Amino acid sequence: MAETTRRRRRKGRRTFGATRQLPSGRWQASYLAPDGTRRVAPETFAEAADAAAWLRQAESSISKGTWRPPELASETFGSYGARWLTQRPDLRPRTHELYALLWRRWLEPDLGPVKLSTMSPESWRAWWATTRAAHPGSTQPDKAYRLARAMLNQAVDDGILAANPCRVKGAGREHAAERPVVMPDQVARIAEAIDGRYRAMVLLAAYGSLRFGELAGLRRDRVDLLHRTVRIDQQAVELADGRVIFGEPKSEAGRRSVAIPDELAGVLDGHLLDHVGPEPNALVFTSPEGHPLRRTKFRSRWRAACEAAGISGLRFHDLRGSGATWAATTGATVSELMSRLGHATPTVAMRYQHATTERDQAIAERLGALMRAAGEMPRPDAAPVVRIDH
C-alpha cells in the first residue's frame, strides 16, 4: 500500500515550477526562468489549482518563446520613448526635430506614464479614437501613431515586449486634402510677378517638378545647359533654429537627373549670368544677401507674387505637383513619373495620373474612331467552311 502511494505521488509530481503552502494557508508558485533566476508569482493564491494555473501560463510562454522578464515591461512608455529618441543618431536633423515635436505634443503627455506591460491594442484604439475626434483635420495624429508604432516595434526587437500592442486598423494613413493644380499661364504670371532672382526658380519648380529643398541646394555645376539637364544629389534643410544644412536626398531614388525644356534652359542661362557666382559649387538660388535660401524667409515673397498674379491658396510645393500632372497628360508612365519626381515607390507618382481625365477621354475618342472605321469597312461574303480530314 505504501509503495502504491509513493508511485501515485511520483506520477503526479510537478515537472515545471513548484508550489508550496504558506503558514497562512495560501499558496505560492515559483519557477526557474530562462535567464537563470527563480521567478516567484507577484501574488499568492487561495487554491493550489490557481497557483498551478499560473505556472502553466509561464511554462506556455517559455515554450512559445514569448517569455520576457517582467521587470522590463514595467518601464513606462515615457522612459522608453525618450531613450529611443536619444539612440537614433541615424535620423536626419529635420526628421529628429519632427519626431521630438510629435513626441512632446502628441504622445508623452497622455501615454508617457503608462507602463509598457499594460499597453494593449484596445488602449491604443481608445487613444486613436479620442485623438482623431479632437483633431479631425490634422495629419499630426497619423504621424504620431506611426512614430509610436516604430518605438514599440523596437521594444519587441529589444525583447521587452512579446508583441507590438500599437495595432489599430486603418490608423496612421494620412489623407491629405487635394492640392490645386495650376496651369502654365498661371505659373508664368507668378514668375513675372516675383523678384527677378527667383523667376527661374519658380519655372524650374514647375517644369522640373523639383522640391524647395532641392532648389535651395542646387549648385552651378549641377546645371548642364548643353544637355538640358539638372542633376539632383543634394538638398537644403532648414532647422527649427534657422540654420540651413545641406545633405544628400533621403533615398537613392532622390538622386536623379531631370531633363528640362529648351525654353527653361534659356531662362536658367540668364539667371546664372546675372545672379550666380562663377564658382562651380556656387548656390544657384540664394537670398538677396547671398545667403542660403530659407523657406520661412521666402514664403512672404511667394505670397506677394501669388497675390499680384491674382492667385490665392497656392503653396510653392504645388508647383511640383502641377508639373507632375502636366507630365502625366503628355503620356508619361508611372515609371517615368517616379524617375522624374525621385520616388522609390509608385504610390505618390500615381496620384498625378488621376487628373488626366481629359487625356483619357481623348484616348477613348480615338478608339471610337477606330471602332467606327472598322464598322464602315466593306465585309466580303462569308467563305464556306471546308472540313479538313486528318
Active-site amino acid positions: 211, 317, 320, 343, 352
d(CA 136, CA 139): 8
d(CA 331, CA 14): 74
- 230 and 222 Cβ atoms separated by less than 8 Å: yes
Q: Closest by alpha carbon to 140, among 150, 151, 128?
A: 128
Query: Within 10 A of 283 (CB to CB), how many other CB atoms are there?
Result: 22
As a 3-state breakdown, the chain gives helix, strand, coil percent values, each rounded to 5, of: 50, 10, 40
- End-to-end CA, the chain: 92
**Exposed/middle/buried for residue 334 (C-beta within 10 Å: 0-12, 13-18, 19+):** middle
For the record, the C-alpha cell of 171 comes out as: 490608423
For residue 324, CA distances in Å to 181, 206, 343, 362 come to 10, 8, 12, 19
For the record, the C-alpha cell of 52 comes out as: 498551478
Phi-psi region of 169 (alpha: psi -120 to 50; beta: other; left: phi over 0): beta
